[in-house]
Amino acid sequence: MNLFQIIYLIEIVIWFLPPIRQYKNNYFYFFLILAITEIFAFITYKIFELPTIITYAIFSYFLSLSLIDKKTLKKHLIIFILLFFALLSIIIYNPSTNKAALLSLYLIIAFLLIKKFIVVFIHNKLFDVFLLVFVFYILTVITKFLNLYTGMTDAYTYFIITSIFQILFGLFFSLFKADDNRLFIQLK
């Protein structure tokens, strides 16, 4: 087993812990979906020979939905269902757009988290460390995808470095709940 495989396995195991820690919190479904994505990607690739990027894109859509409040989801359910089928059609019938679709979904996730961070910061006068770490985690995912797709730097080395950081992020989300008072800094 090489270093890449070891880090990849550690990362998968670590990311099963945050859903347990975040249970009954606002981000529980996000972390649950994130934890099962790799397993589903592996299974669908091995059994159905479905490219993993399709699985990642589908699960990323649900990751983005998990960050939207329930009232908005219920109010616009038909639109979200139509968007899902549009995404599905695009990634199945036009595979050349899969990378762009996946990257777009993660940019939407980053936007939603940054928006939440700003709202908490402005309305509640709180600096939410959990949300800040969450945003940094998503940015590492985005940069990892960008590097894999564009080949900006040595993909193997960059993947190892970002994976190590993602393991640390996973440990953070396993230790701290989103509503942990120690992670809120009151501003004056």
| pLDDT tens, residue by residue, 34-83 | 999 988 988 998 898 888 888 999 999 999 999 999 999 999 999 999 99
Mean pLDDT of 74-103: 92
Q: 96 pLDDT band (50/70/90 cuts)?
A: confident
What pLDDT does 5 receive?
Answer: 83
The pLDDT of residue 33 is above 90: yes
User: Which residue in 11, 22, 34 sits closest to 130, CA to CA?
Assistant: 22
Q: Long-range contacts: 135-141, Cβ < 8 Å, 24+?
A: 135/110, 136/169, 137/166, 137/169, 137/173, 138/106, 138/109, 138/110, 138/113, 139/110, 140/165, 140/166, 140/169, 141/106, 141/166
Identify the pLDDT of residue 4.
78
Where do we find the tokens 């939410």?
Answer: 128
Return the minimum-mean-pLDDT range out of 6-20, 106-120, 141-155.
Answer: 141-155
**Whole-number Å distance between alpha carbons of 147 and 143:** 6
pLDDT for res 15: 95
Cα 96 off chain centre by: 22
Which residues on neighbouring strands pair with residue 128, listed in sequence order?
A: 184
Q: What angle do CA 110, 113, 119 make, to 5 degrees?
A: 140
Q: Is 23 helix (H, G, I), strand (E, B) or coil?
A: coil
Tell me which H or E stretch contains 62.
helix 52-66
Structural domain that includes position 23: 3-186
Q: Give this prediction's pTM.
A: 0.92
Number of domains comprising the chain: 1
Instruction: Please determine, for residue 149, whether its predicted confidence score (pLDDT) is greater than 80.
Output: no
